[in-house]
Structure 1
């Protein structure tokens, strides 16, 4: 009796084999795709990683500086350099009459030589943001008007030239009050002379020159400095 052996596999086994082969094909395809991608990245070198880093990295805009504020800060620091000085000696006579009733019986006289100094300038600390206009490589700065900053009598260089006590030397000594009066008169005369000799205009010119030199180091190709006339009461 001859026994037959059935070598056929069950149907379920064939199905399993089919899906197994498909899985191998899919896995192999993914592997091939990954391999090709790696090869592409290798050919591109670091550019791929640079591009990848650029996509995921955070970007920060370049900081912006307030040019007007910087210029104002620089110009304000130069305020001490914008003064013009006028010096002058003034001879001032003063007199005090002595009376008896309606009669003048004598006079005390003092002749004073005053050495005075008047400083004028542009107060750059008053510069405001709207006074500075920047357009590209051009800048326009409008300066405040010039003014008298200080006026004084140098008492160490001034002197009493002559003093007459009056009334045959019997009148009270009033040299101190006459000297004070002479100093007040002298500073008024010297201030008027300073203004008449263009001290405020000189202050404008010096301020314009100083600010132009200062701003020229900032790299602007066109610099315009606008000055203003002094106020009507600047010399009063």
Structure 2
């Protein structure tokens, strides 16, 4: 009988302990949920304040930029002249030209005996541009924010034959001569003149001027002058 009573007491103790443990668990869970809800509410309450602070800071920065703008410093014409002169000879266009030149020596009546003639195929290069070292201080000036520029006249810098591509196509000599040793040299000189003449007739100098203005326009705009007018002499 005593044993049965002890068992009932132990069962009662265990039941009480289980109830106490469950009560403690639910109480802790409720406290944790409440803490999380309070933290989230606090975050939501702070967020508008942060947004307002960020907006206020942005407006303050914009107002500072309006009231105290950063000055734009443009180089004066003298500074530009130094920059432009450093480019020296601005080569703006190159022509590659082929010319056929005929050269001969000897009197017509005796050509069969002592004459010499040849056909020379010439390949040459002509380079033109503007010599910017010739720019003077009065060639650049600013008026109402517009930069005015007067460039030197375009000129031919190089007119030469390509010896690797130029050659004697045909040569014919009289019966009693081995040919004029200077005839090919004379043909080459004539070919150089013809090549330069062909480039000039094709408008190489006008194109050199146009290309120089286009190149310098971009340079001046980079230096801070969006409006540039080139003045012809």
TM range (shorter): 0.5 to 0.7
Q: CA deviation at 1:199?
A: 0.3
Q: Give 2:97's aligned residue.
A: 88
- Counterpart CA distance in 2 for 1:186 and 1:209 is 32
- Among 54, 73, 76, the residue aligned to 1:67: 76
> Which of 210, 220, 224 pairs up with 2:215?
210
80-89 or 199-208: bigger deviation: 80-89
Distance 1:91 1:97, change over 3 A: same
**By percentage of residues, which structure has more helix?**
2
**How far 1:65 moved relative to its partner?**
9.1
SS in 1 for 2:182: helix
Task: Point out where structure 2 has 5 or more consecutive residues left out of the alignment.
Answer: 1-72
Shift of 1:221: 3.0
RMSD (Å) for aligned C-alpha atoms: 2.3
Q: Any gaps of 5 or more consecutive residues in structure 1?
A: 1-63, 229-236
What residue number does 1:13 align with? none
Which piece of structure 1 moves more, 194-203 or 131-140? 131-140
Contact 1:121/1:200, CA 8 A, preserved across alignment: yes
1:145-164 C-alpha deviation (Å, 9 max, x unpaired):
11122211111210111112
Provide the aligned length of Structure 1 versus Structure 2: 160
Q: CA deviation at 1:172?
A: 2.8
* 2:153 corresponding residue in structure 1: 145
Q: Which moved more, 1:65-74 or 1:135-144?
A: 65-74
Separation (CA, whole Å) in 1 of partners of 2:74 and 2:224 = 15
CA contact (8 A) 1:141 1:225 kept: yes
Q: Distance in 1 between matches of 2:91 and 2:105?
A: 42
Measure, in 1, the Cα distance between the counterparts of 2:148 and 2:187: 46
Residue from 125, 128, 138 that aligns with 1:130: 138
Corresponding residue SS for 1:109: strand
Q: What TM-score do the two structures reach when normalised by structure 2?
A: 0.62
Structure 1 residue 136 displacement after superposition: 4.9
Match of 1:173 in 2: 179
Change (3 A) 1:98 1:135: closer
How far did residue 76 of structure 1 move?
A: 1.8
Partner of 2:48: none
Instruction: Kindly state the Cα deviation for residue 227 of structure 1 after the two structures are TM-superposed.
Output: 3.9
Pairs within 5 Å for 1:108-123: 108-123=116-131
